[in-house]
Chains A and B, each alone.
Chain A
């Protein structure tokens, strides 16, 4: 009886301690997110409005280059196609590039206070969620314009599925952030490597080009193309987690309405997204947890 009570009490004390440290870390994360957003737009005249304008301007540049100059993507929803791809990719790009040096850059805080190392990648990824919310305003604006031009309303309740997709995106980006932040502590050349990789990744993800146009066209195929390069490309495209994320986002934003497809058909893809997210978050947490006690000696 005694021992039972003892175990119960200890469990209670343990949970209480965990809850306290969770509350403390949540407070730190909130302050960090606020700080990051404030620092980002300090000394700028229009401030947070940039978060809305940024994806919009990026989209206009790409739209001009590909649709107007190169005559690629002539359909009316091409502007939405680019914008959706851009919003998704900048979420991952911003959160991972900020997280990569976050442990090293916050050495001032880490070497002088007892803080959980996890708060920095979490804060950066939550900051990306905030930016995503602002970008959605730009998306709604462009959707309105495209709806008027195409004389077809693309607004639907499918858009609410964004709230189901975001956690998966967060998990994926957070997991990748953890891996990069931990690696950077020990190997500083990861930053250069990742910058080059990001450029490659941007082009391998169908942000402005269309998978169908590249993989399914049979017009100018040589034998080598048909036998070797195309299957390779197909493999690379499908192995790219971002491909699935941008595809899903486009489907729920306008694709299902445009093609008259029921949104239920996209649910298996949502499952894939969660699988990707959980795998990355799992690997990231594992690597980060195993190495974080050593961070302090290398930063």
Chain B
């Protein structure tokens, strides 16, 4: 009886520290999609297919039994060829997708920076978009108002904030998106290919800010085809190929394996 109590206590004692350390836990995740050409999006087509008996679903598996965990303050790079499932994995971490199988556990505030202009409304002005995005990331109007000047300053868009986003250049949109995402104090920042946009000066500024945030203990999950960038920013890396994890671990080892594989493929 006493022994049992003891083990229970130790479990309770160790459990919180374990949870506190791990900020992202992806366990045994599989993700399936319906293929696009089989997608039925109107009634007419549905009736025709039902009559023909062809309303079957064709399923494509994008991720297969993926498992990994990220500790607080750690940064992880996702590498692999186009269409390997990297962006899907990022969206699973952002809880935009629900996994078909397995679980994704994320603790803390996630700021997704997926593609250019993630979630901007083209008709609204930059200022309105800052407030809308702030609200989406979980901030009240007051809190965003406090950060507003800082965001504008970082994005270097002072005089353009009242212009609709649709008139912005892609570089300007990227700058605004990045400025918002880093200014909302996220615990986890999901970055999809966007660190390589903008002009040279802004890129350097971003790199400085990313390092600053990493020192503060922000966790980064970065999708990139730039091995140099992944090596300089991340401690760990995951190489995904054909929906499977090919390698997972130290960033240098994984990148080396990936590059070797790429070279072999070319020959």
Chain A residues with a Cβ under 8 A of chain B: 20, 23-24, 27-28, 30-32, 34-35, 38-39, 42, 108-115, 186-190, 293, 296-298
Q: Note all chain B residues with C-beta closer than 8 A to A110.
A: 96
Closest Cβ neighbor of B129 among chain A residues: A35
In this assembly, does B112 line the interface, its C-beta being within 8 Å of a C-beta of chain A? yes
Cα–Cα, bound, A34→B34 (Å): 36
Structural contact, B135 and A30, CB atoms closer than 8 A: yes
**Chain A residues positioned under 8 Å from B110 (CB to CB):** 114
* CB-defined contacts of B114 to chain A, threshold 8 Å: 112
A27:B135 contact, CB within 8 angstroms: yes
Q: Are B97 and A296 in contact (CB under 8 A)?
A: yes
Most chain-A Cβ atoms within 10 A of its Cβ — which of B110, B114, B136, B137? B136
Inter-chain residue pair count (beta carbon < 8 A): 78
Q: Are B141 and A112 in contact (CB under 8 A)?
A: no
Contact B46 A24 (CB under 8 A): no
Q: Footprint of A on B, CB under 8 Å?
A: 33-34, 39, 41-44, 46, 91, 94-98, 110, 112, 114-115, 117-121, 123-124, 128, 131-132, 135-141
**A109 and B119: CB pair below 8 A?**
yes
Taking A30-B135, A112-B114 as given, write out 16 further A-B residue pairs in contact, using a Cβ cutoff of 8 Å, ordered by the A residue number: A27-B138, A35-B121, A35-B132, A38-B124, A38-B128, A42-B123, A108-B120, A112-B118, A113-B94, A113-B136, A114-B95, A114-B96, A189-B43, A297-B33, A298-B39, A298-B41
- A252 and B117 CA atoms in complex are apart in Å by 49
Contact A112–B115 (Cβ < 8 Å): yes
A188 — which chain B residues lie within 8 A by C-beta?
41-42
Which partner residue on chain A sits nearest B106 by CB separation? A114
Interface centre among A23, A187, A188, A190 (most CB of B within 10 A): A187
Identify A30's interface contact among B34, B94, B139, B141, CB under 8 A: B141
28 A/B residue pairs, CB under 8 Å, sorted by A = A28-B135, A30-B135, A31-B132, A31-B135, A34-B128, A35-B124, A35-B132, A38-B128, A42-B123, A108-B120, A108-B121, A109-B136, A111-B96, A112-B96, A112-B112, A112-B114, A112-B118, A113-B112, A113-B118, A114-B95, A114-B112, A115-B136, A187-B42, A188-B41, A188-B42, A189-B44, A296-B97, A298-B41
List chain B residues, Cβ under 8 A from A39: 123-124
Which residue of chain A has the shortest Cβ distance to B122 in the bound complex? A108
Q: Is the CB of B136 within 8 A of A28?
A: yes
